[in-house]
Structure 1
Amino acid sequence: FFFFIYLFFFNLGLVNASHHSLQYIYTASSGIKSFPEFVAVGLVDGNEVMYYDSNTMEAIPKQAWMIKVTEDDPHYWEFQTQGLFGTQKSFINSIEVAKKRFNQTGGVHIFQNLYGCEFDDEYKEVQGWESFGYDGEDFIAFDLKAERWSAPVHQAFITKNRWDNDKMKVTETKYYITQTCPDWLKKYLEYGKHSLVRTDVSSVSFLQKSPSSPVSCFATGFYPSRAEMFWRKGEEEIHAGVNEGEILPNNDRTFQISVDLDLSSVPPEDWTKYECVFHLSGFKCDVVNRLEKSKIRINVEGENNMRSRKHFWEIIPIIAITVSTAVTILVLMVAVGFLCRKREKSINFACYYLF
């Protein structure tokens, strides 16, 4: 289910840094006393920037830089609150109708709407989406290329037919996710440029467990995650004897990567012909380290184990959050309804009526 997949990557902080994204997710539920009936969350590049729920009934900024929005519009947060309150009522009211459509009585239900947009760093490629989930399954989604709605379950055919025949709705949906949403994403990136659009250069070092082990070129503390590291001899990149590691997150939202090189068949006097190159997107100069024995930290197996244990304990809370999210989503059930939109500001407020 799309929301579970999204939350999994959001909790891990693994955002595709080659693109910038703005997305919102609405969740309505019934039959769960400890969970708000309605929750709305807005995210920029995977960072939560806006939150609203039916308990507080107030849209609030979740990043300090989001307060800057009121410099352009003093009534921004008041508008978001009013719009989301209307969406909240329509989402909740639609649940009973959805239960009838699916021949359900009582129980726990959840209805979710995920929509947003993304573009690359040069704003050349814009993509957008809007999807709805019901009972832990995809219910209906907008096909931007075909400009029609797709319904994977027969219970959504009524909704699909009505929305496809409403040309104004199709036009507004396309315009929002290809024009309005990207425009606001650019604004948010400007507001939060010091924290969202940043470049942290990595520290690079050579590690080796023993004199006969492969030499590991290890980089850590870099941001964003779109980086690459490789070994080269002279000006030629080499692949034989190279074991490339994956980019992994650190607990401070930076990243790390390592690339091992097997030099067992290379005479020690030729080691200086090899270089480790680290390239970080957005940074003009590569970090190039020539391999010299004096730079290699040997017998660091204990240190590597310590780092592995540290990394393990660092991700335990993240794993716990992810598992908790998965359990919540599997337990909750949703109801979905007919969409009538009000395309204003940065948020796509929706009024749902099932039929």
Structure 2
Amino acid sequence: MKSVAACFERENACYVTIEATKVDGFWPIHGYRIVTLEGTAFFPRDLTEIPSQTGLNWHREAFASVDIVTPPYYMIGLLSFHASSINSANGQLGKFECGDRMLREIYTPQAIAELIEGVWSKRTAFKPYYDQLVESSKAYCLGLYNVAIVGILPCIEGIVRRLGLASGIRVDSEVSINNLVKVFRRLQQKEVDSMMDGFDWFPASEINISLLNRFHERVQIFEGISNYLKMKLYLYTKNAPEHLTLNRHGISHGFFQGYATEANYLRLFNLLSALSFADIMVEGQGSLMPPGSSPESELLRARLSLCVAMSVAI
């Protein structure tokens, strides 16, 4: 701290106080609070001491390898178990089998009902699509995966656009991946601003989204959603890898076959779950804990279970 003060004195810069401090957002950034007559500034001590891979990065990369966004609302221990299983599996097919198994295990009819009634029904961006989301979940439980997937895709686009409007972003009616990902960039920047609240100045070229993406879990989740939309769901069809069947353009224009699977529906359901997490951040209220059972969710669970039973006869 003495060397910092000496630098200011050599430059004949006026300051009132200099003190060691830190800002904290899943990982502490140590530095100095410098109060001048013009305001308060933060100077980081050494950004190289911040790990390059922590938080949810390892999990995010494992899930991304099987086209899955990091599931929110679940304990880190459960996520670590499944991420490790994916990484340890032999070959691409083995990894996808592990990812598919995880989705089936965490999104049972009861879990689906609890998320729809306990989280999604309470989120502003989701409310206009509530009926369609319930219908698609019933189609899924009936084994009508084609109908379920085609029914849920418009909900995803509409919800992302509504998140953009709520974030103050002009999102045009034309579906554009560049417009959609702006929503998550805005949410990431909001996390940077929140962490640096109380300082009038800080080196924004160094303390930025890229830095927080190394350790900040919410920034990492938003990055994962953005990457999935860009590199998977809205990827230009001609650039799609051979294994990718869950692609909005390929499905809507009839280019892709083989997308109507149980696991692919759950991939989209999981994406919606991540979007509900983003909605909580946009609205600034809501629980980040797993939803519990309620009379509404029990009623929907019973109906979904009936659909599962009926699927045998279809």
TM tier, smaller: under 0.3
Larger radius of gyration: 1
Q: Which has the higher contact order (CA 8 A, sep 6+)?
A: 2
Q: Which has the higher helix share?
A: 2
Q: Which has the higher strand share?
A: 1
TM-score relative to the length of structure 2: 0.23
TM-score relative to the length of structure 1: 0.21
